[in-house]
Amino acid sequence: MIQKQKGCNDIYGKDAKIWKYIDSVIDAVMEKYNYTYIRTPLIEATELFHRTIGTSTDIVTKETYDFTDRGGRKITLRPEGTAGVVRSFIENKMYGDASLPLKVYYNGTMYRYERPQSGRDRELTQFGMEILGSDDPLCDAEIISLAVNIYQMLGLKEIKVNINSLGDDASRLKYREELIKYFKPHINDLCEDCKERLEKNPLRILDCKVDAENPLLKNAPKTLDYLNEESRDRFEKVQEYLDIFQVKYEINPNIVRGLDYYNHTVFEIEAKVSGFGSNNVLGGGGRYNGLCKQLGGPDTPCIGFACGIGRLKTALELEKVKLPITETIDLFLLYVNDEEKKYAAYLSQELRLAGFIVDTEYNNRSLKAQFKQADRLQAKYTAVLNSTDLNNNEIKIKNNKTKEEEIISLDAIIYYLDEKLNTNLDDEDECGCEDECCTDDHCDKNCHCHH
Ligand code: HAM
C-alpha cells in the first residue's frame, strides 16, 4: 500500500470541517482589518530563501525541499510565506501604489524537512499577514492585535503574547557583538549547531531547542539592554498601542525568532493549555525593514505574522472549544422505485438551490438501510417519496428526532422546512446564532457569526 509521506497529513471528515471553519474566521477577521488576500506560488527560486531567511538558519541549511527542475533551475518548495510576498511586491511593482501600506494575508501550504513530531510537520499550512510600506509602530501593534483577535474569535482563551525588540541595525549589531563575547569562552558547552551559529548568527543560539535549558542561555545578555534610544522609544510606542488595543502581553527578552530577517519588534503567541508539549508556539512574527531592499526592491519597512493552522487546531481541541460546525443535514430523501428516485433527484436539487442541506440515496438500498443512512448523516428530517403521495402533490415528512410525521403539500415544502428549521432564508442577515447582535451590522461581540 502506498502511504503518505512522513510529516504530512490527510485532512478529511470532521477535521476538514473544522479546518474550513478556521479558514472562514480568518477570512472574516482579515476583511474587517482591510487585508486583501494574496496567493503566491508554492515553488520559488532557491535563491529567494537563501537571501531572505538567512543562510545560517536551520530552515535554509537543513529544512528546505530543494530540487533541480527539468530545465536545470534550482527550485525550493516554500518553507514560509513572507519571502514570496516580498518577491511579489517587488516583481509586480506594488510599491508604486499610492495607497501604501499594502496589507495582505495568505493561507497555504509550506514545506520544511523537519524531524516529524507532534506540532512539527513536513507539510504544514500557515496563514499569515504582512504590512508592506509602513514603519509606524501602530502597524506592529495592529498585527499583534489582529493575530490575537483571530484566536479569540475562534474561542481560544489560554494564549500568551510574548514581545521583544531587537532594535534597529545599530542596536542589533552591538548586541550581536556582546553575545559573541559572552558565548565565546563557553563554546564547548554549546551543542554542535550552536558552535557553528556563534560567528554566523549568535542570536539563533538563544532560540536553540537543544540548548534551551542550558543556564548559559538564560543568563545571556538581553536585547533590550542594547537598544539605542530611538529603538527603545519605538518599542514603547508599540506597547502604548497594544494597551489601546487592550492586548495583554509580556516582554520576553528571549524571543529572538529563528529567521534572519527581523529587526525591531519580534513576537510569539503561545498556547498555554496543558498537553501541548514543547511546540506550543501558535505563531510568530516581527518587523523586517531590511528585507525588501536586500531582495533588490526599494527600501520598504514591513512587518508580519504567521501561524500554523495544525497547531491552532490542536489548541482548540485541547481547550475543548465548541465550534459551530454543522454535522447534521436538513433532509434525507428516501425512495423505492425509479420514478421516485427521479423525483428525489429533482427535489433535492430544488431544495439545495433554496438553501437547505439535502441528501438522498445513491446505491438503491432497501428502505431500512436508507433510514440507517439518514441516521448516520444525522438528518433532521426524512421524507419517503411515495408515488401515490407525489401524484396527489403531497409529501410525508418526518422529524427524525421526535418521529412526528406530517403530510404537506409539495408546493409548501420550502416554507415548511424554513419554518421548522428556523433558517429564515428570507432574512439574509440572520445566521442562526441566538445572540441578538447578529442582526446588527456593527456587532462587535465574539459570537462566531461574523456577519
Ligand atoms: P515561523 O516562526 O517560522 O515564522 O513560523 C510561524 C508558525 O508556523 C509557527 O509558529 C508554527 O505555528 C508554524 N510552523 C512552523 N513550522 C512548522 C512545522 N514544521 N510544523 C507545524 N507548524 C509549523 C514564519 O514562518 C515567518 N514567515 C512569520 C512572519 C511573517 N514573519 C514576518 N511575517
How confident is the model over 193-243, as pLDDT tens digits? 888 888 888 888 888 877 778 888 889 999 999 999 999 999 999 999 999
Q: Is residue 218 part of a domain?
A: no
Write the pLDDT tens digit of every residue in 40-83. Answer: 999 999 999 988 777 767 777 779 999 999 999 999 999 999 99
Helix (H) or strand (E) holding 240: helix 229-244
- Return the best residue to mutate from 64, 65, 80 for the ligand 1 pocket (most ligand atoms within 8 A of CB): 80
Do 303 and 404 have their domain in common?
A: no
- Return the best residue to mutate from 57, 62, 109, 126 for the ligand 1 pocket (most ligand atoms within 8 A of CB): 126
Residue nearest to atom 32 of ligand 1 (CA): 304
Question: Is residue 187 over pLDDT 50?
Answer: yes
- State the distance from the centre of ligand 1 to the C-alpha of 82, rounded, in angstroms: 10
Q: Is 258 in the pocket of ligand 1 (CB under 6 A)?
A: yes
Do 344 and 314 have their domain in common?
A: no
Ramachandran sector of residue 178 (left: φ over 0; alpha: ψ -120 to 50; beta: rest): alpha
Question: Is residue 432 over pLDDT 50?
Answer: no
Q: Is 313 in the pocket of ligand 1 (CB under 6 A)?
A: no
Rounded mean pLDDT of 348-368? 97
- Which range marks the domain in which residue 382 is found? 329-439
pLDDT score for 310: 96
Q: Is residue 3 part of a domain?
A: no
Do 91 and 232 have their domain in common?
A: yes
Q: Is residue 185 part of a domain?
A: no
Q: Is 264 in the pocket of ligand 1 (CB under 6 A)?
A: no
pLDDT score for 374: 98
Q: Is residue 217 part of a domain?
A: no
The larger pLDDT score, comparing residue 134 to residue 50, is at 134
Q: Is 104 in the pocket of ligand 1 (CB under 6 A)?
A: no
- The domain spanning residue 346 has which CATH number? 3.40.50.800
Mean pLDDT of the chain: 91
pLDDT score for 428: 42
- State the distance from the centre of ligand 1 to the C-alpha of 81, rounded, in angstroms: 9
Residue where a domain stops, chosen among 258, 292, 318: 318
Q: Is residue 270 part of a domain?
A: yes
Q: What are phi and psi of 443, to 5 degrees?
A: -55, 130
Q: In 3-state terms, what secondary structure has residue 164?
A: strand
pLDDT band at 423 (very low <50, low <70, confident <90, very high): low
Q: Is residue 73 part of a domain?
A: yes
- State the distance from the centre of ligand 1 to the C-alpha of 258, rounded, in angstroms: 9
Write the pLDDT tens digit of every residue in 206-218. Answer: 888 777 788 888 8
Do 151 and 250 have their domain in common?
A: yes
What global pTM score does this model have? 0.89
The larger pLDDT score, comparing residue 426 to residue 296, is at 296
Rounded mean pLDDT of 100-120? 95
Do 313 and 342 have their domain in common?
A: no
Do 306 and 336 have their domain in common?
A: no
Do 287 and 420 have their domain in common?
A: no
Q: Is 126 in the pocket of ligand 1 (CB under 6 A)?
A: yes
Residue nearest to atom 13 of ligand 1 (CA): 308
pLDDT band at 427 (very low <50, low <70, confident <90, very high): very low
CA contacts within 13 A on the Cβ side of 312: 28
Q: Is 133 in the pocket of ligand 1 (CB under 6 A)?
A: no
pLDDT band at 451 (very low <50, low <70, confident <90, very high): very low
Residue where a domain stops, chosen among 318, 342, 367: 318
Ligand 1 atom with the smallest distance to the CA of 63 is 19
Ligand 1 atom with the smallest distance to the CA of 114 is 19
Do 96 and 127 have their domain in common?
A: yes
Do 142 and 250 have their domain in common?
A: yes
Bridge partners (DSSP) listed for residue 283: 269, 307
Q: Is 319 in the pocket of ligand 1 (CB under 6 A)?
A: no
Q: Is residue 205 part of a domain?
A: no
Residue nearest to atom 22 of ligand 1 (CA): 308
- Return the best residue to mutate from 311, 313, 314 for the ligand 1 pocket (most ligand atoms within 8 A of CB): 311
Do 71 and 136 have their domain in common?
A: yes
Per-residue three-class SS string for 35-90:
CEECCCCCEEEHHHHHHHCCCCCHHHHHHCEEEECCCCCEEEECCCCHHHHHHHHH
The larger pLDDT score, comparing residue 191 to residue 85, is at 85
Rounded mean pLDDT of 85-112? 96
Count up the domains in the chain and report the number.
Answer: 2
- State the distance from the centre of ligand 1 to the C-alpha of 176, rounded, in angstroms: 23
- The domain spanning residue 17 has which CATH number? 3.30.930.10
Q: Is 48 in the pocket of ligand 1 (CB under 6 A)?
A: no
pLDDT band at 258 (very low <50, low <70, confident <90, very high): confident
pLDDT score for 162: 97
pLDDT band at 140 (very low <50, low <70, confident <90, very high): very high
Do 338 and 370 have their domain in common?
A: yes
Measure the CA–CA gap between 151 and 143, rounded to whole angstroms: 13
Question: Cβ neighbours of residue 443 under 8 Å, at least 6 residues apart?
Answer: 437, 449, 451
- Return the best residue to mutate from 38, 118, 124 for the ligand 1 pocket (most ligand atoms within 8 A of CB): 124
Do 139 and 244 have their domain in common?
A: yes
Q: Is residue 235 part of a domain?
A: yes
Measure the CA–CA gap between 56 and 53, rounded to whole angstroms: 8
Residue where a domain stops, chosen among 279, 298, 318: 318
